Amino acid sequence: QVHLVESGGGLVQAGGSLGLSCVASGNIFRNNTMGWYRQAPGKQRELVALITRGGSTNYADSVKGRFTISRDNAKNMVYLQMSRLKPEDTAVYYCRWTSWGFEYWGQGTQVTVSS
Protein backbone atom coordinates (compact mmCIF):
# COMPACT_ATOMS: atom_id res chain seq x y z
CA GLN A 1 0.00 0.00 0.00
CA VAL A 2 1.22 3.49 -0.89
CA HIS A 3 -0.29 6.61 0.64
CA LEU A 4 -0.08 9.91 -1.21
CA VAL A 5 -0.72 13.35 0.22
CA GLU A 6 -0.84 16.46 -1.95
CA SER A 7 -0.44 20.02 -0.79
CA GLY A 8 -0.07 23.50 -2.22
CA GLY A 9 -3.31 24.12 -4.06
CA GLY A 10 -5.18 27.38 -3.81
CA LEU A 11 -6.51 30.41 -5.61
CA VAL A 12 -4.31 32.42 -7.95
CA GLN A 13 -4.86 35.07 -10.58
CA ALA A 14 -4.30 34.34 -14.23
CA GLY A 15 -0.66 34.76 -15.12
CA GLY A 16 0.44 33.82 -11.64
CA SER A 17 2.36 30.87 -10.28
CA LEU A 18 1.65 28.07 -7.85
CA GLY A 19 3.54 25.03 -6.63
CA LEU A 20 2.17 21.62 -5.68
CA SER A 21 3.84 18.92 -3.62
CA CYS A 22 3.07 15.26 -3.07
CA VAL A 23 4.69 12.92 -0.59
CA ALA A 24 4.47 9.15 -0.86
CA SER A 25 4.70 6.80 2.09
CA GLY A 26 4.27 3.09 2.67
CA ASN A 27 5.54 0.20 0.55
CA ILE A 28 7.56 2.24 -1.93
CA PHE A 29 9.04 0.23 -4.76
CA ARG A 30 12.30 1.73 -5.91
CA ASN A 31 11.41 1.70 -9.61
CA ASN A 32 8.37 3.93 -9.88
CA THR A 33 6.84 6.72 -11.86
CA MET A 34 5.11 9.66 -10.23
CA GLY A 35 2.85 12.10 -11.91
CA TRP A 36 0.21 14.76 -11.75
CA TYR A 37 -3.24 14.56 -13.26
CA ARG A 38 -6.12 16.98 -13.12
CA GLN A 39 -9.88 16.90 -13.41
CA ALA A 40 -12.00 19.93 -14.15
CA PRO A 41 -15.75 19.95 -13.44
CA GLY A 42 -17.61 17.95 -16.05
CA LYS A 43 -14.43 16.69 -17.68
CA GLN A 44 -12.40 13.52 -17.55
CA ARG A 45 -9.23 13.25 -15.54
CA GLU A 46 -6.24 14.05 -17.74
CA LEU A 47 -2.50 13.73 -17.56
CA VAL A 48 -0.56 16.85 -16.66
CA ALA A 49 3.00 15.54 -16.26
CA LEU A 50 4.94 12.39 -15.41
CA ILE A 51 8.45 11.80 -14.11
CA THR A 52 10.33 8.54 -13.73
CA ARG A 53 12.71 7.77 -10.92
CA GLY A 54 15.55 8.52 -13.34
CA GLY A 55 14.15 11.95 -14.13
CA SER A 56 12.60 11.41 -17.55
CA THR A 57 9.58 13.64 -17.98
CA ASN A 58 6.46 13.80 -20.09
CA TYR A 59 4.07 16.74 -20.29
CA ALA A 60 0.63 17.38 -21.70
CA ASP A 61 0.84 19.75 -24.65
CA SER A 62 -1.39 22.22 -22.83
CA VAL A 63 1.17 22.77 -20.06
CA LYS A 64 4.48 22.47 -21.90
CA GLY A 65 6.66 25.46 -21.24
CA ARG A 66 4.54 26.57 -18.29
CA PHE A 67 4.68 23.67 -15.82
CA THR A 68 7.71 21.84 -14.47
CA ILE A 69 7.62 18.48 -12.72
CA SER A 70 10.44 17.37 -10.46
CA ARG A 71 11.04 14.83 -7.73
CA ASP A 72 13.19 14.09 -4.73
CA ASN A 73 13.76 10.35 -4.56
CA ALA A 74 15.27 10.47 -1.10
CA LYS A 75 12.11 12.08 0.26
CA ASN A 76 9.66 10.19 -1.99
CA MET A 77 8.26 13.50 -3.14
CA VAL A 78 7.11 14.90 -6.45
CA TYR A 79 6.55 18.55 -7.22
CA LEU A 80 4.70 20.53 -9.85
CA GLN A 81 5.70 24.12 -10.41
CA MET A 82 3.03 25.93 -12.39
CA SER A 83 3.57 29.32 -13.99
CA ARG A 84 1.67 31.56 -16.38
CA LEU A 85 -1.49 29.95 -15.10
CA LYS A 86 -4.69 30.25 -17.11
CA PRO A 87 -8.33 29.97 -16.03
CA GLU A 88 -8.52 26.70 -17.96
CA ASP A 89 -5.92 25.25 -15.59
CA THR A 90 -8.61 25.30 -12.88
CA ALA A 91 -9.12 21.74 -11.67
CA VAL A 92 -8.53 19.29 -8.87
CA TYR A 93 -4.94 18.11 -9.19
CA TYR A 94 -4.11 14.54 -8.24
CA CYS A 95 -0.81 12.88 -7.54
CA ARG A 96 -0.35 9.38 -8.93
CA TRP A 97 2.27 6.73 -8.12
CA THR A 98 2.78 3.67 -10.31
CA SER A 99 5.12 0.71 -10.19
CA TRP A 100 4.97 -2.85 -11.50
CA GLY A 101 1.29 -2.62 -12.36
CA PHE A 102 0.29 -1.04 -9.07
CA GLU A 103 -1.14 2.46 -8.94
CA TYR A 104 -2.17 4.76 -6.15
CA TRP A 105 -3.77 8.19 -6.11
CA GLY A 106 -3.80 11.05 -3.70
CA GLN A 107 -6.96 12.73 -2.50
CA GLY A 108 -6.47 15.75 -4.75
CA THR A 109 -5.90 19.44 -4.21
CA GLN A 110 -7.94 22.23 -5.74
CA VAL A 111 -6.29 24.79 -8.00
CA THR A 112 -8.43 27.73 -9.03
CA VAL A 113 -7.21 30.35 -11.49
CA SER A 114 -9.25 33.53 -11.64
CA SER A 115 -9.43 35.68 -14.75
Summarize pLDDT for 54-71 with one digit per residue, the tens: 999 999 999 999 999 999
The one-letter code for the residue type at 4 is L
Find out whether 8 and 94 touch, Cβ atoms under 8 Å: no
pLDDT at 29 over 90: no
How large is the average pLDDT for residues 14-22? 98
pLDDT at 19 over 90: yes
Q: What is the DSSP letter of 86?
A: -
Task: For residue 28, name the pLDDT band (cuts at 50, 70, 90).
Answer: confident
Nearest C-alpha neighbor of 32 from the set 77, 97, 80: 97
Q: How much is the mean pLDDT over the chain?
A: 95
